[in-house]
Structures are given as structure tokens and as C-alpha cells.
Structure 1
Amino acid sequence: MNYTFDFAPVFAAWPTLLEGMIGTLRMSSLSMVFGLSLGIFFMMMRLSKLPTLRTIAIGYIELIRNTPILVQVFFVFFGMPAIGIRLSGEQAAILAMTLNCAAYAAEIVRGGVQSIRPGQIEAGRALGMHTADIYRFIVFRPAIRAVYPALCSQFILMMLNSSLVSSVSAEELTYFAQTLDAQTFRSFEIYLALGVIYLLLSQFVSVTLGMIGRVYFSYPAK
């Protein structure tokens, strides 16, 4: 093997790769927040007593979960201009990841909500709690606490899948790595470093979400 390893171009491009890391975290974080919010909305539709709302929610969830996220990204970026909606690469990436995250979050949260016993809700009503407080403290908070590890895993997977949005020129980590590869032709070194960076990002997101979980979903000390 005559290949000579040279990581100098990778180290020289650290400012660019750092910009890509920030872009990845920004787009992933926004998609997580919007996706979870939209997911709770579709979860409520999924559990509605109205057949029309249930059908819409089920159709949306099944459509998103049974099509590749790359196809969804292409549809948003290349398909939506046909109906007059033009988005930048980053906007299309955030929208596509939000829609994708919402479908999975809806099913995860639905599992948590359905684990709440009806007697707990009845007890809240017997104590004179307002409906909003019942759903906030007796339904949603315990439900999200129960499925929080699953949500964290889904969020990390979505962050890793964000590498696919480089295909629509969204300026995230993989996009800058591909640009660097085209300039230096050091594919081995660049993509090895890219893999290590994604590993570190995954650990960072995991630790951050774990800290958030301990703050907001831990049981009070006795």
C-alpha cells in the first residue's frame, strides 16, 4: 500500500468543521423542539374519539415512518416549489426533520400516555384539579418521564440522520466535510475524522439530554 496518511488538511480545516458542528446542532435542536411539539399534537389526534382526526393522524404517522427520510428531504426541497413554496437548504432540512421527528415522537409519547391509569386522572378530578393541571401533572409529565429514554434515542438518531440533508446543500457537518474532500482529496482522513466527530456529538447530546431529564423528570428526594 503506497497511500500516505496526511491529516494536516483536516486539522487546518477545524474552523470550517466547527462551523458544521454548530450547524448540525442548531438544526437538530430546532427539529427536536418543533418535532416533539408537533408529535404531541398528532398524538392527541391519534387518541381522539373523532374518527376523522384519528385517520389523519394515523395516515401521517404511517406515511412518515414508512418512507426514507432522504425522500422526505427531497420532497420538501425539490417538490414543494411546484406548489409555490421555496425554502433554503437549511429551512428545508429543519422542516423535513421536524416532520420526521414528529411521527416517531407521536408514537413514543402515545405509549407513555396510554400507560397512565385512568384511576390517576379520576383522582385528580376528585381533588378538584383543573383539566389543564390534570393533563400537565398527571398525564403528560409522567408519560414523558416514562418514555424519555426512548425520546432521547430518537433525538440522537435524528441528529445522525441530519447528515443526509447535505444532499440539499444544508450547511451542516457532512456538507462541509464533502466540500473539504472535493478540495483536498483526502477522503480517508476526512471521513475518519467525520465519524469521530459524530461519535463525540452523539455523546454530547446524550449527556445534555440526560442532564435535562434529571432536572425536569427526576422524582423529588424523600
Structure 2
Amino acid sequence: MNKLKQFILMLVMMFAVFLPLSNLTVKADQTDTSLEDIKKSGKLVVGLSADYPPYEFTAKVDGKTEYVGIDIEIAKKLAKDLGVKLEIKNMSFDSLLVALETNKVDAIISAMNPTPERKESVDFSDIYYSGKQYMVINKKDASKYKSLADFKGQTVGAQNGSLQYNLVKDQMPGTTVKGLSKLNNLVLALQSGKVSGIAMEEPTAKAYVANNSQLLAFDPGFSVSSDQTGSAIAFRKNSPALVAAANKTLAQIKKQNLLDTKYVPEAAKYMETTTKNNTMMSYWTYFAKGIEYTLIITVTAVFFGFILGTLLSLMRLSENKLLHSIAVCYIEFIRGTPLMVQVMFVYFGVGAVIQSLPALVAGIIATALNSAAYIAEVIRSGIESIPAGQTEAARSLGMTQKDTYRYVVIPQALKNIWPALGNEFVTLIKESSIVSIIGVGDLMYQTQLVQSATYKGVMPLFIAMVIYFIMTFSLSKLLNLFERKLNHG
């Protein structure tokens, strides 16, 4: 019966959290203030996935990392025409539509195809660039794969949420489609034999092949309707004023032929420069920045997670049924859901209510809340491991329950749980990599930038592995030292 009550309480708590978020959908009959809101805020927030050359990717400009490419130039011109500053938010391609829906970005300029399915959820500008759909394969397989039919029985890769993913699924029967969020990971899968080919848009396919002599790109014969091909800017549904402003900018770009005379050549120039200077040493600042953010997330999450975890453990041990039930519901719910989902919910869900919530803060909050549930169980087990006689002796000496916990129970419990607690701290360093999915510049995020900038897949991952090992190994040794001092004390 008690478990039934706890389950009902958990459902009530979940309902209380999700109910306010259900009212965030923009109604069709609302007055369009999309353009006015952007001008009032003074900035245009554009979402993209910067692993898609020549549309958007990263390059070193005057020693600094900058976003470059066709889409970046379009975003800059659109912001300039609107009279506002441009802010770029780089995240996984399959998270962009969610970010747009929850007001984390004002527009998506990421070579997005205006498919009929997407048009039901968002508004699109006019198409600004069109290209065929290509297949990228290993050059050694050139004689083996020449058309779509040749891939029967094979695994073909495509970016999650992309037009290419649907094309492979619909037009390549007998093949297995493997979707990943980053193109550089797909290229790595291709070179390691995990997939036989990767479906990409023509300009991107040619960009990767031009920078990797082991790859080959060709037109396999995808059939694409006119309402699916091409790239357009995506906006929230019912934003006609903003769409009209974007179309005006795109019309100027077409009239002045900026794509062919400026944007595409500049993207090619950055790609050529990157190819000449793509040694790992030249990207050490990426990894240094990633280490900084990873440590910030870990230390902050450990601090608040330990405080909340201690509180939850005491609540679960409390004789107060309400406090006990709340703690049990929280711990079981958090431990029963993936950290990735929690990170995305805090950023896109809670962040839709608190518009100013930065990705870094959302990542820290989600990681701390997740860690607290596990720390709570560790502390609870440590407290319960202390013989009841210890507490009874302390109380018989006149100590209050608070003093008993503070001076008798907690110090002994801490000694018992320190190995498990230390393991949680070490694990947190590795789990923090999940926040890269929402665009937090941690070590994993920076590694992906290096992969897309250098067109190399294995070496950046190897360096990231070594860095993670150094951080976790160093922390383990530090925790072991502290553990020995506790035991000698």
C-alpha cells in the first residue's frame, strides 16, 4: 500500500512539473510579433550544427575560433538587415527544431530542407541554395558501389533528422540506415567499416572528399521532389513578418549573386586553409577550453549535488511520511530516467519557461540533480551502516538528534561511504560529456569541433580519451589520499 501511495505521489509531482510546460505552444490566432521581438531584444539567435561544410563549420581566423561558411554569411547579412546583433548557438542537428519550438533560438540556418513534414511545425523562407543528394564511400569501394541498388544488404549512414536519412529509408530497400547526430562521426564510421556509404548533400559531400583522399563522392540517383530539395531558413510557426524579412534578405543575396561570387568561394578558402593547418597541436586551445568547461561543470555539480543528496538522504530516513515519500519519488524517478533526457528537458523544457537560462547553467543543473539522487543513496547506506548502538549511546549522553548526526553518525558514515562517493565524483567527469548535446562547450563538444574542422575522426577522439583519463586518474589518486587520511584519523 505504501508503494502505491508513493507511485501516486510521483505521478502527481510529474503532472505538476509538466502541466505548466504544456501551455507553451504558440496559438495560430496570436498576433505576430516575431520581427518586433527580435528588434526589441537587439539580437538574432540562430541555431545550427557546425559540422556541415561548406554551409557551416569552424575555422581559425587570426588565432581565434570562428564559425564560417555559407549559412554563417547569410545569418550575418540577415542580422545586419534587421539592425541587430547575431548570436550563434551550435548544437546537434536533431535538436535544432526542439530549440526553435522552445524559443531557445529565433531561426535555424543549417542547410535545412523544407520538407512537408517540417512545414507542419515551422515556417520556412524561400530556398536559398539547392544541390543534389550524393553518396560518400571509401575510394577502395569505387567499383563496388555505383548506384542505390548496389547498397542492398549494406548499412548506409545519414545524419539524424535529415532529408538524407528519410531518403535512405524510403528509396534504398534492403539496406539498414544508421543515423548519427554528427557527420564527422559518420565519416569515422565509414572509414572503420561500420557503414558502406553516407548520404550527404552535394556541396557537403564534395567538401569532405576534397579534404580526405581516401573518400569518393558520386550521385547514386536519389529521387527528390521539388518541395524537398534545397536549403531554407526555418522560423517558428506563424511568423510571417520574420519570414518576409528573411525573404527580402535572400532576394538581395540572389540579386547580387553573393552565393557564387562571395559566400561559396570564401567557404572554400577557409576549408583549404584548414586543410593545410589541421595538425592536432594547432587546435590545443579547443581541448584547453573543453577541459575548463568540463571541470566547471563537474566541480559545480558535485558541490550542489552533494548538498542536495545529503538533504534527500535525511529526508528518506525521516519518520515524516511526506518528506520520506518526496525523497523516494525523486530518487527513483531520477535514477529511472537517462541523464541525456534530463539535460534536454532542463534546457528545452524548463528553459522554455525561463528564457534566459544558458546552456551551461542548464547542463550544470541537470547534472547536479542527477548526481544528487545517487549521492543520496550512497549517504543513506552509509548512515544505515552505523550500528544503532552508536546513536542510542549518543542520545543517552544527552545529545540532540541533530548533534548525534553531526558529531557521531555523519563522521563515521563518511569514512564508510568515501570510496563509493569518490567513484560518483569520478563518474561525473565522464558523464558531463552528455551536456555537449545542447551546445555546452565541454571537452566532448570541443572534440567534435576539432573533428569537423580537421576532417579527422580518430585522432581527436584519442586525445579526448587521454585527457579524460588524466583527469579521472588524477582525481582518483587525490581521493585515495584523502581516504587514507580518513582511515588513519
TM-score by length of 1: 0.90
**Counterpart residue type for residue 448 of structure 2:** Q
Number of the residue aligned with 1:185: 455
- Letter of the 1:184 counterpart: T
Alignment of 1:218 with 2:218, yes or no, is no
Q: Specify the alignment match of 2:353 in structure 1.
A: 83
Equivalent residue number for residue 51 of structure 1: 321
Q: Determine which structure has the larger helix proportion and give its number.
A: 1
| Number of the residue aligned with 1:147 | 417
- Whether 1:176 and 2:453 are equivalent positions in the alignment is no
1:136 corresponds to which residue?
A: 406
**Aligned partners of 1:74, 1:42: CA distance in 2, in Å?**
23
Summarize the Cα distance change of 1:86–1:66 in structure 2 as closer, same or farther, 3 Å threshold.
farther
- State the shift of 1:151 in Å: 1.0
Counterpart check, 1:195 vs 2:465: yes
- Which shifted more, 76-85 or 182-191? 76-85
For the pair 1:94 / 2:364, whether they are aligned, the reply is yes
Q: Match of 2:337, SS?
A: coil
C-alpha distance after superposition, 1:87-144 (max 9, x if no partner): 2111011100100000000011100001111211122233344544321221111112
The CA deviation at 1:81 is: 2.6
| SS of residue paired to 2:350 | helix
**Alignment deviations for residues 52-99 of structure 1 (CA, whole Å, 9 cap, x no partner):** 111111110011101100000000001113333542111011100100
Question: Aligned partners of 1:112, 1:68: CA distance in 2, in Å?
Answer: 25
State which structure, 1 or 2, has the greater radius of gyration over its C-alpha atoms.
2
Q: Distance in 1 between matches of 2:395 and 2:480?
A: 32
State the distance in 2 between where 1:171 and 1:83 align: 23
Secondary structure of the residue aligned to 2:319 is coil
Contact 2:286 2:446 in 1 (8 A): yes
Task: Report what 2:78 is aligned to.
Answer: none
SS at match of 1:209: helix
Identity %: 35
Deviates more, 1:185-194 or 1:121-130: 121-130
Q: Which amino acid aligns with 2:382?
A: G
Q: Per the alignment, do residues 85 and 208 of structure 1 end up closer, same or farther by CA in structure 2, a change over 3 Å counting?
A: farther
Quick one: distance in 2 between partners of 1:87 and 1:45?
A: 29
**In the aligned structure 2, how far is the partner of 1:78 from the partner of 1:106?**
26
Q: Secondary structure at 2:357's aligned position in 1?
A: coil
Q: In the comparison of the two structures, how many residue pairs are matched?
A: 217
Q: How does 1:104-115 map to 2 (within 5 A)?
A: 104-115=374-385
Q: Is the contact between residue 28 and residue 162 of structure 1 (CA under 8 Å) also seen in structure 2?
A: yes
Structure 1: distance between partners of 2:384 and 2:411: 13
Deviation at 1:183, TM superposition (A): 0.8
Name which of structure 1's ranges 167-176 and 71-80 shifts more when overlaid on structure 2: 167-176
Structure 2 residue identity aligned to 1:73: V
Shift of 1:186: 1.1
Q: 77-86 or 40-49, which moves further after superposition?
A: 77-86
- The answer to which structure has the higher strand fraction is 2
Q: Which amino acid aligns with 1:171?
A: G
What is the deviation of 1:29? 1.1
User: 1:187 offset after TM fit, Å?
Assistant: 1.0
Q: Aligned partners of 1:53, 1:85: CA distance in 2, in Å?
A: 31
Structure 1 residue 210 displacement after superposition: 2.3
Indicate if the aligned counterparts of 1:65 and 1:103 stay in contact, CA closer than 8 A: yes
Secondary structure at the counterpart of residue 196 of structure 1? helix
Secondary structure, aligned partner of 1:116? coil
**8 Å CA contact 1:10, 1:190 repeated in 2:** yes
CA–CA distance in structure 2, aligned partners of residues 24 and 173 of structure 1 = 6
Q: Contact 1:31/1:95 (CA < 8 Å) preserved in 2?
A: yes
Contact 1:80 1:86 in 2 (8 A): no
- Segments of structure 2 that go 5 or more residues without pairing to the other structure are 1-139, 141-212, 215-276
Aligned-partner Cα distance in 2 for 1:184–1:117 = 59
Could you tell me how far apart the structure 1 residues matched to 2:356 and 2:368 are? 17
Match of residue 32, structure 1, among 299, 302, 316: 302
The worse-fitting range, judged by mean Cα deviation, of 101-110 and 138-147 is 138-147
Q: Quick check: 1:65–1:100 contact (8 Å CA) kept in 2?
A: yes
